[in-house]
Amino acid sequence: MKAFTYQSLPMRVIFGEGALAGVAGEVERLGARSALVLCTEAQRASAENVARLLGQRAAGVYDKAQMHVPIETAEEARHVAADLGADCCVAIGGGSTIGLGKAIAMTSELPIVAIPTTFAGSEMTPIYGITEGGLKRTGRDARVLPASVIYDPALTATLPPRIAATSGINAIAHSVEALYAQDANPIISLMAEESIRALAASLPRVVANPGDAGAASDALYGAWLAGACLGAVGMAIHHKLCHTLGGTFNLPHAEMHTIVLPHSIAYNRHAAPEAMARVSAALGGAEAASGIYDLAERLGAPMALADIGMPADGLARAAELATQNPYYNPRPIEQAAILELLRDAYAGRRPP
Ligand code: NAD
């Protein structure tokens, strides 16, 4: 066993069908009296249901959460929270809504109760992201880690299959990179492998039948573990590439992760054989890169960067940006090989 350091994050997780009913108790447990409920416009009805469950403890609903947390939205939401005298935020939604809660917590230290409705995993991490002047700034800050997370599988029943599929593969990406992280450790590796196993088995069932409660529960379990992996250890080439592509070419987050992941895995294939063996075991024996590719295809996910708005003449620029600052990856970062990886992802080729 290699030497390692592991520090667990102080979080409380409530998991189960119907768990949402306990939201008022979670707010009360934090000693809060007035919660601002956050959501996207599309999820307003879910947020109003949360406000109803909170009763006297609801300060109001703010429904302007958006992808990548624009600074203007963050600032407006901070003002709304202050004007209403909120002493806590309840974020119901995907990574974008939970990200808005984190943006509020960064300046106000209001605790967050997170209620995830996708599989992206932001609820388990101290990682924030705010977009200003076209640039997304991300970082780690203990103040933004949700105090309490409620996982209720009933909430993913309304998830459009494309978002279920791609946010699920986004979760798998956290776990794959945790397995070859510079600061990998045995506990997180167990969670990573188990999360890939749970997600790979359940996502096809979730996509085929969003009302399948057992499948939704298994997928959310996998998403919880994957989010915990992302929160605990550092990431590598895959997350760096997606950050670059998302920031510079404004590609949709979960779709982009889904398309790039098989190619990132193929890039690291020979440099991280132990991690690859664990991914393969979690996929029931399929080779890691092509196994993830086949899973995404089976889920009906987009497979090529060309299909989600990536300009062909941007590939060289992306390869240059992604290789600019040195960072950890099990295989050294070589610009020509990264460009090759991006070309494969652009065309949607199946890794050999
Ligand atoms: P999202 O939060 O942007 O949601 C996508 C869309 O799906 C939204 O319109 C939303 O309203 C809708 N939606 C969500 N759940 C639904 C449901 N159950 N039923 C119907 N509609 C639903 O998507 P995402 O993939 O969850 O999050 C992506 C964002 O999260 C990115 O900005 C990414 O950077 C961030 N993220 C952050 C972390 C972190 O640790 N900080 C981790 C993962 C993702």
Nearest to 92 by CA among 141, 152, 142: 152
- Please give the number of the atom of ligand 1 that sits closest to the Cα of 254: 25
**Whether pLDDT at 249 is above 80:** yes
pLDDT in the model for residue 151: 98
Residue 165 CA neighbour count, 13 Å, CB half: 24
pLDDT in the model for residue 102: 98
How far is the centre of ligand 1, averaged over its atoms, from the C-alpha of 100 (Å)?
Answer: 11
pLDDT in the model for residue 282: 98
**What mean pLDDT is predicted for residues 229-238?**
97
pLDDT in the model for residue 162: 97
How far is the centre of ligand 1, averaged over its atoms, from the C-alpha of 120 (Å)?
Answer: 6
pLDDT tens digits for range 107-165: 999 999 999 999 999 999 999 999 988 788 899 999 999 999 999 999 999 999 999 99
For residue 210, the tally of other CB atoms under 10 A from its CB is 16
pLDDT in the model for residue 326: 77
ipTM over 0.85: yes
Burial of 313 (0-12, 13-18, 19+ CB in 10 A): exposed
How far is the centre of ligand 1, averaged over its atoms, from the C-alpha of 253 (Å)?
Answer: 9
pLDDT in the model for residue 32: 98
Bridge pairing between strands 148-151 and 88-93: unpaired
Domains annotated on the chain, with CATH: 12-156 (3.40.50.1970), 160-347 (1.20.1090.10)
Percent of the chain with pLDDT over 70: 100
Confidence of residue 248 (pLDDT cuts 50, 70, 90): confident
- Residues in contact with ligand 1 (CB, 6 Å cut-off): 40, 42-43, 67-68, 93-97, 99, 117-118, 120-122, 125, 127, 129, 155-156, 158-159, 163, 167, 170, 230, 253-254
* DSSP 8-state class, residue 23: H
- Please give the number of the atom of ligand 1 that sits closest to the Cα of 96: 2
How far is the centre of ligand 1, averaged over its atoms, from the C-alpha of 31 (Å)?
Answer: 28
Tokens at 80, concatenated: 């709304």
pLDDT tens digits for range 207-225: 999 999 999 999 999 999 9
